[in-house]
Amino acid sequence: MDIKLGFGTIPKPQYIFISKENDHCWYMLTDDGKQMPIYDRALTGIITEIEVNKTVETSCGEAKKIDLHILADKPYIIRSGSESYFSKSLLLSLNSLSYEQLLQPLTIAVSPGDKAIVFCTIYHPVTYRSVGVTWDGHQEIDWHVLGQKVSVKINSVKSTASAAREIASKTEIRSDFIAKTDSYLSQLKWTPNQGREYLQQKYGKRSRHHLSETELIDFIDYLQKQISQKYST
């Protein structure tokens, strides 16, 4: 997502609300509270979070809502009533997805039903296939329990992905450090035995791969000083 420098709008998530009208099924609110219809039927992005059974203050009093957070061209939050068919079909679809699928971009689409009903259909944007769900026995489903199950699933996926990215980042940094030592050792014309002997004496370790990040940085500083002394004499 590109970051626009300079003046612009306040960088806050855009809320999307569900409502079946003649020509649209969802809308957003302008800064002055007016409804702005969304005529597109689908929103594609990466699901980052879901909040279930959230108590929200509305013009009609407190109500239970589900907030689905999606990162697309900007952050969006799709808000729907906990007991609505949209929320129920959303939970059924999310529950059917694998952990791997939840890490990929997904398309959330609104599908109008009878009267004031709006359903949610999730598509795979690459294959164009919808996530198959069944409404068999839906009257016996404990939607509160299902919501909690989906919430734990999505939060688990995102925390695992975050940890994986952190590990990958640290691995990349270590690879850069090792590459620097390769270059410096080559300039100093140290033999592998010289390197091992120094590491053993200084850190009690025989390989650079066993050094901590702090020790690697200390080793790099030492090699840099040796190079400076070599070329200054």
Average pLDDT (195-219) is 87
Question: pLDDT tens digit string along 36-88?
Answer: 999 999 999 999 899 998 888 877 788 899 999 999 988 999 999 999 999 99
CB-based contact 159:102 (threshold 8 Å): no
DSSP letter (8 states) at residue 209: G
Phi and psi at residue 210, to the nearest 5° = -95, -5
What one-character DSSP code corresponds to residue 61?
A: E
pLDDT of the residue at 61: 83
Give the mean pLDDT of the chain: 87
Instruction: Please state the domain extents for the chain.
Output: 14-141, 169-232
The pTM is what? Answer: 0.68
CA 120 to chain CA mean position, Å: 21
Q: Which residue has the higher pLDDT, 136 or 207?
A: 207
What tens digit of pLDDT does each residue of 148-178 get? 999 988 887 777 666 566 666 677 778 888 8
pLDDT at 167: 63
